[in-house]
Amino acid sequence: MKVLVIGAGIAGCAAAVALHKAGHDPLVFESHQRTADGVGAWLTLAANGIDALAAIGIGEDLLRAGFPTPRFELLSHNERLLASYLAGPVDTYRTTTTIRRDDLYRILREEVERLGVRIEYGKTLRAADVDPSGGTRAFFADGSSVPGDLLVGADGLHSTVRGVIDPAAPRPRYTGLLNTGGFAHEARLPAGIPPRTGVMQFRFGRRCFLGMTLAPDGDVWWFANPFSPREQTPEELKTLDGERWRRELAGLFEGDRIPARELIDASAYVYPGWNTYDLPRVPTWHRDGMVIIGDASHAISPTSGQGASLAIEDAVQLARALRDLPTGAALDAFETLRRERVERAVAQGARTGSRKAVGPVGRVIRDRLVMPLVARNARRHDPAGDWLTGHRIAWDEPVAPVVGA
């Protein structure tokens, strides 16, 4: 089948590789120019995401470009350790990995191109429809159109394909948190619990949440989530450039013992701010030879560290289904394989996110009651059996049709 993949982000590239492996003929369209690769700072891939990439033969380069961060530590605004636990299974290969976003995109796109699959840059999908000759047709902003047997919307949170499939589809939900981050070079941090390689630290400031880890080269990679009950407008976001963030963040951590100011001062560049969103339930994922995957169908709060991993899982499971079943049955089977899992993950991500922005009373409850429980459960729990991070995809196993569909 000729499969039109819209978006050369994480889901789109993984889908192109997986569909090629499944014997199909993908063609990828990306609205940005190729030179836009360096967007965003860094992210963690969970063990389940690494496993899904391994299922389609991507791994070695990625693991070399990133570094393992298997342990999570949660700290209070006054540098008290609240919990320390393994973030997922740890083995030689499938371990939580932290990587620069531009490295991840580069490695995925290089793999797509190595397979001989074309990515057309500067092509923005505007609409799609059933083609009179059968299959679907994609319409682009430059006036061109392309026919295909199937169209995969991997076009992210603000997906166009989602609205084509169902004009009444819900819109992303603002999480109440903004995001910024950077890379601190030779940061001189005050006494406290120092960042360490292999450990992702999360600090609950009183007005802002801070995550950080020490990269093997000695830089501290960090992100901050300022609490903001109101979603910023596009105009406001334009004014939230790196310099403004430097000033704002210094104020937001005032009075906390969190070493934010030192990190910000040691960062040559502070990334401009984003609103963060999730998308709990999109009722319709596919119709008439069009399907959505990744953030387009189920965005999860960035707090979870799972968005990219779930997007990769989607891509691999969709390709497996399309390898084994006719299109209609494959899309039903894909949804059956995925829906319950991703909606459960999004709900868990929302709960975790809501712990970040709490008032003084909530803070005491969280730090004194909830966090010890988190720590105790994590200690008792075998990460290899965890429903989220312990998930494994058996590429060679055939996908069964949905009974009664």
Ligand X SMILES: Cc1cc2nc3c(=O)[nH]c(=O)nc-3n(C[C@H](O)[C@H](O)[C@H](O)COP(=O)(O)OP(=O)(O)OC[C@H]3O[C@@H](n4cnc5c(N)ncnc54)[C@H](O)[C@@H]3O)c2cc1C
Decide: is 154 part of the binding site for ligand X (CB under 6 A). Answer: yes
Site for ligand X in 44-103 (CB under 6 A): 44
Least CB distance to ligand X at residue 323 (A): 21
Binding residues with ligand X: total (CB under 6 A) = 32
Least CB distance to ligand X at residue 307 (A): 2
Nearer to ligand X, 154 or 321 (CB): 154
322-325 contacts at long range (C-beta below 8 A, 24 or more positions apart): 322/1, 322/3, 322/19, 322/22, 322/24, 322/150, 323/22, 323/23, 323/24, 323/399, 324/398, 324/399, 325/399, 325/401
What residues are paired with 30 via a beta bridge? Answer: 121
Least CB distance to ligand X at residue 311 (A): 4
Decide: is 309 part of the binding site for ligand X (CB under 6 A). Answer: yes
Binding map of ligand X across residues 172-191, x = CB under 6 A, - = no contact: -------x------------
Decide: is 4 part of the binding site for ligand X (CB under 6 A). Answer: no
Of 2, 31, 42, 39, residue with least CA distance to 19: 2
Among residues 160, 201, 228, 389, which is the contact residue for ligand X, using CB under 6 A?
160
Any idea how long the chain is?
Answer: 405
Please spell the DSSP secondary structure of 372-396, one letter per residue.
Answer: HHHHHHHHHS-GGG-TTTT----TT
Question: Would you say 87 and 71 are in contact if contact means Cβ atoms under 8 Å apart?
Answer: yes
Question: How far is Cα 294 from Cα 148, in angstroms, rounded to an integer?
Answer: 20
Question: How far is Cα 219 from Cα 184, in angstroms, rounded to an integer?
Answer: 5
Least CB distance to ligand X at residue 236 (A): 17
Calculate the CA 380 to chain-centre distance.
27
Decide: is 43 part of the binding site for ligand X (CB under 6 A). Answer: yes
Decide: is 156 part of the binding site for ligand X (CB under 6 A). Answer: yes
Decide: is 302 part of the binding site for ligand X (CB under 6 A). Answer: yes
Per CB under 6 A, the segment of 25-33, 127-135, 190-198, 327-335 that binds ligand X is: 25-33
Geometric angle at alpha carbon 111, from 308 and 312, rounded to 5°: 20
The pair of three-digit structure tokens given for residue 323, joined into one six-digit string: 């390898």
Site for ligand X in 238-277 (CB under 6 A): 274, 276
Decide: is 3 part of the binding site for ligand X (CB under 6 A). Answer: no
Least CB distance to ligand X at residue 109 (A): 10
Least CB distance to ligand X at residue 255 (A): 25
Nearer to ligand X, 144 or 379 (CB): 144
Decide: is 228 part of the binding site for ligand X (CB under 6 A). Answer: no
Decide: is 131 part of the binding site for ligand X (CB under 6 A). Answer: no
How many CA atoms lie less than 13 Å away from 250 in the CB half-sphere? 11
Decide: is 311 part of the binding site for ligand X (CB under 6 A). Answer: yes
Rounded to a whole number of angstroms, the distance between the first and last alpha carbons of the chain is 22
Least CB distance to ligand X at residue 365 (A): 26
Per CB under 6 A, the segment of 30-38, 71-79, 236-244, 378-386 that binds ligand X is: 30-38
Nearer to ligand X, 6 or 325 (CB): 6
Strand pairing of 150-153 and 2-6? parallel
**Alpha carbon separation from 120 to 34, 142, 363 (Å, rounded):** 9, 12, 49
Per CB under 6 A, the segment of 107-115, 187-195, 291-299, 324-332 that binds ligand X is: 291-299
Question: How far is Cα 364 from Cα 371, in angstroms, rounded to an integer?
Answer: 10
Residues of the shown chain interacting with ligand X in the complex, contacts defined by CB under 6 A: 6-12, 29-32, 43-44, 124-125, 154-156, 160, 179, 274, 276, 294-296, 302, 305-309, 311
